[in-house]
Chain A
Amino acid sequence: MKPIIQVTGIGKKYNIKHQQGGYVALRDVLSNVFRNPFSFLKSKAKELTGLDKKEEFWALQDVNFSVSKGEMVGIIGRNGAGKSTLLKILSQITPPTTGEIRIDGTVGSLLEVGTGFHPELTGRENIFLNGAILGMKKQEIIRKFDEIVKFANVEKFIDTPVKYYSSGMYVRLAFSVAAHMETDILIIDEVLAVGDAEFQKKCLGKLEDITKKEGKTILFVSHNMALIKQLCKKTILLSKGAVKMVGPTDDVLAFYANDKNTTEEVQDFLPLDQAVSKSGVRFSGVKISNQKGHSVFQSDDKLKIELKYESDLKEKIGEVRIVITIISELSEQVVLRLDSDIPIQTISENIPAEGTVVCETQHLNLAEGSYIADIDFLIGGISVHYVRGAGKFEVETSLDAYHFKKYPDNTVCDNIIKYDFKLK
């Protein structure tokens, strides 16, 4: 059968300069040009002649695969493997640098639930707006309207502005609109990781329904192996911007679980934006690794966070307290709070004007997923430098270490522990 999606030689190049700085100020660029006109001309010339190679980074390189009609295909891979870039290219949000994708049919992409929802508008109004943004025609929305409202179970509040909705209602309504799109292909990025367990089950049912009954093709990216296993027959494993393996889900998951080659050593401190610090003391770098110095964690690994700091002070800094908060990216819940005031063995209240603070934990016992670290530097109880999302790490569950036979559902709970059941 002719494939419905044919991906040939897709590559995406990023300019690292664009990636890192967030954004540049025109003011800085202009003042730079006037201060060092020659070095500016030199770098510009390098850019134009293509000599400036080290600024380039290929997020995806030579990616090939095809998907047949009615298939539900999972896409897995570690952070930075290129999953989101691939989704963005498939959804036409960003064009590829090389290669071509041929898609026979209409595409709907769901990289986020409730894209374009406006808090001031009512549920009814948002259904139309969101539907239109997702590419539905007005007639189509009118025809499906009752079905959408019923599925989301928000009949009573349909004329209430969504800013008064509970987060559950909001997500239900948003998913419901998306699930009723009449496209041939649906591209989904982990959006199911929201809402209550019951609604999630309903969503899964709906997804299985639309692949089976309506013959829709679905591409599904997730960190949730349990879900991939349940929904997808075929899975694509991405690693370092290339397709590492395509095949039946069970085979790919088994390969992925055993594949430790992609574990990289953490070498450098990640530099932190220092402009945001209000006082003379600031964090300058962060390094997160497990006890072996790797960046990818197993659920039972120990966490080691090193925080480099510096200050304009000459003497020691007094009354210091450092707080690290670990947040699950999936559930946005705090899973750990590491406070230098709490343990018996800790840093003293007076620390040198610059140095590195290290925090080491016991077994993490976190479920599979991505976790974010917020760091806070307090002096005398006042926060002097708070960095949201200073670091990020990824956790993988190993079934062996916990004597598990299947992956726990990380959409319901972020923490895991070794346990068993028996009859008394």
Chain B
Amino acid sequence: MSNAKITIIKPKKLFSFADLKEVWDYRELLYFFTWRDLKVRYKQTAIGALWAVFQPLLTMVVFSLFFGQLLKVPSDGVPYPIFVYTGLLFWQFFSTALADTSNVLIVNQAIITKVYFPRLLLPLSTVATKFIDFLIALIILIFMMIYYGYTPHLVGLFILPLLLLITSMASVGLGLFLASINVKYRDVRYILPFFIQILLFVTPVIYPAGILGKYSWVLALNPMMGVIQSARAALLGTTVLNWLLVSISLLATACILAVGIYTFKKTERYFADII
């Protein structure tokens, strides 16, 4: 075990490929962080894992009642509950991952100021935790699809991982950016819930993307719009799958992710000094 590893500590460069390798070397810690988050959450809430199901389910019921039944929001010809649940599934994955990633440095400051590990592990583990929640909530969707008699297209099943990738990239990218600002300006965390709520209304979760008519392209700037619309197209056959839209979303999130990682790396050099 001696002399197996040589560490050189010097002023940090902004980016190097060694960083990526390091994240891989520390993959066990990534697992432990995720495991901790899940374990702690399910220990603290009495109903445990049911919470992951309960949250989107209850939201779906309330939304179906008010938007579907009372306000008669159009739903591209599919029953409103399954329409809104498909949207909520991805939306909750995105919004909870975004919110937690933005606070990840502050929440873990005790560890950050005392031990070294690649800081990128923290946001990654957040997304992994939320992904588990997504999988649990997905079970409800499967039941609903059986109940309403929908079979997904074969393409649909293949595109799902891609959509999940886009969602993760979007939440991590934006989350890293906000996390970096959050370290410097502590009031950002109070603005964030409001920001996420506004995002919900400019994303076609409770209404179909076509609602704006010829101005629908405006919504396409929001990567989550492409994700949710494609998910509905693939699983419920609401519209034809729009590959252009998926590509735009993928490209947009790649940009967001690049900006997020850049900001994070830049702040990483000094955030242990200021938190």
Q: Are A106 and B5 in contact (CB under 8 A)?
A: yes
Partner of A105, one of B5, B36, B273: B5
B7 at the interface (CB under 8 A from A): yes
Q: Could you say which of B11, B111, B114, B273 has the most chain A C-beta atoms within 10 Å of its C-beta? A: B114
Q: A25-B185, A105-B4, A106-B4 are in contact. Are A93 and B114 (CB under 8 A)?
A: yes
Stretch from B37-45, B67-75, B84-92, B160-168 contacting the other chain: B37-45
Q: In the bound complex, what is the Cα–Cα distance between A133 and B5 (angstroms)?
A: 18
Partner of B2, one of A88, A95, A184: A184
Question: Can you name 7 extra interface pairs (CB under 8 A) apart from A18-B270, A105-B7, A121-B36?
Answer: A100-B8, A105-B3, A116-B110, A120-B39, A120-B40, A135-B115, A138-B28
Q: Are A116 and B111 in contact (CB under 8 A)?
A: yes
Q: Are A92 and B4 in contact (CB under 8 A)?
A: no
Nearest chain B CB to A213's CB is how many angstroms away? 14
Q: In the bound complex, what is the Cα–Cα distance between A18 and B269 (angstroms)?
A: 13
Interface residue tally of chain A, by bracket? Answer: 35 or more
B1 at the interface (CB under 8 A from A): yes
Name the CB-closest residue of B to A108: B115
Q: In the bound complex, what is the Cα–Cα distance between A99 and B274 (angstroms)?
A: 22
For chain B, residues 204 to 258, give those with C-beta under 8 angstroms from any C-beta of chain A.
none
Q: Are B10 and A23 in contact (CB under 8 A)?
A: no
Q: Are A115 and B6 in contact (CB under 8 A)?
A: no
Q: Are A101 and B39 in contact (CB under 8 A)?
A: no
Q: Are B111 and A118 in contact (CB under 8 A)?
A: no
Cβ contacts under 8 Å, A96 to chain B = 9-11
As a 0/1 sequence over residues 156 to 199 of chain B, the CB contacts with chain A under 8 angstroms (1 = contact) are: 00000000000000000000000001001111100100000000
Cβ contacts under 8 Å, A102 to chain B = 6-8
A107 at the interface (CB under 8 A from B): yes
Cβ contacts under 8 Å, B35 to chain A = 129
16 contacts between A and B (CB under 8 A): A24-B186, A89-B9, A94-B273, A95-B9, A95-B11, A96-B10, A99-B10, A103-B8, A105-B2, A105-B6, A107-B7, A112-B114, A118-B36, A133-B111, A134-B115, A215-B2
Q: Are A18 and B11 in contact (CB under 8 A)?
A: no
Nearest chain A CB to B102's CB is how many angstroms away? 13
Name the CB-closest residue of B to A23: B186
Q: Are B270 and A94 in contact (CB under 8 A)?
A: yes
Name the CB-closest residue of B to A128: B32
Q: Are A125 and B5 in contact (CB under 8 A)?
A: no
Q: In the bound complex, what is the Cα–Cα distance between A112 and B117 (angstroms)?
A: 15
Name the CB-closest residue of A to B29: A132
Partner of A98, one of B1, B7, B11, B113: B11
A182 at the interface (CB under 8 A from B): yes
Partner of A133, one of B4, B32, B113, B269: B32
Partner of A92, one of B11, B28, B39, B116: B116
Q: In the bound complex, what is the Cα–Cα distance between A111 and B112 (angstroms)?
A: 11
A14 at the interface (CB under 8 A from B): yes
For chain A, residues 108 to 161, give those with C-beta under 8 angstroms from any C-beta of chain B.
109, 111-112, 115-116, 118, 120-121, 125, 128-129, 132-135, 137-138, 161
As a 0/1 sequence over residues 44 to 69 of chain B, the CB contacts with chain A under 8 angstroms (1 = contact) are: 10000000000000000000000000
Q: Could you say which of B9, B117, B184, B274 has the most chain A C-beta atoms within 10 Å of its C-beta? A: B9
Q: In the bound complex, what is the Cα–Cα distance between A107 and B116 (angstroms)?
A: 10
Q: In the bound complex, what is the Cα–Cα distance between A90 and B117 (angstroms)?
A: 13
A32 at the interface (CB under 8 A from B): no
Q: In the bound complex, what is the Cα–Cα distance between A417 and B255 (angstroms)?
A: 67
Cβ contacts under 8 Å, B272 to chain A = 88, 93-94
Cβ contacts under 8 Å, A95 to chain B = 9-12, 269
Nearest chain B CB to A55's CB is how many angstroms away? 14
Cβ contacts under 8 Å, B7 to chain A = 92, 101-103, 105-107
Q: Are A109 and B9 in contact (CB under 8 A)?
A: no
Q: A120-B43, A121-B39 are in contact. Are A25 and B186 (CB under 8 A)?
A: yes
Q: Are A182 and B9 in contact (CB under 8 A)?
A: no
Name the CB-closest residue of B to A216: B2
Q: Are A23 and B270 in contact (CB under 8 A)?
A: no
Cβ contacts under 8 Å, B111 to chain A = 115-116, 133
Q: In the bound complex, what is the Cα–Cα distance between A375 and B182 (angstroms)?
A: 31
Q: In the bound complex, what is the Cα–Cα distance between A102 and B7 (angstroms)?
A: 6
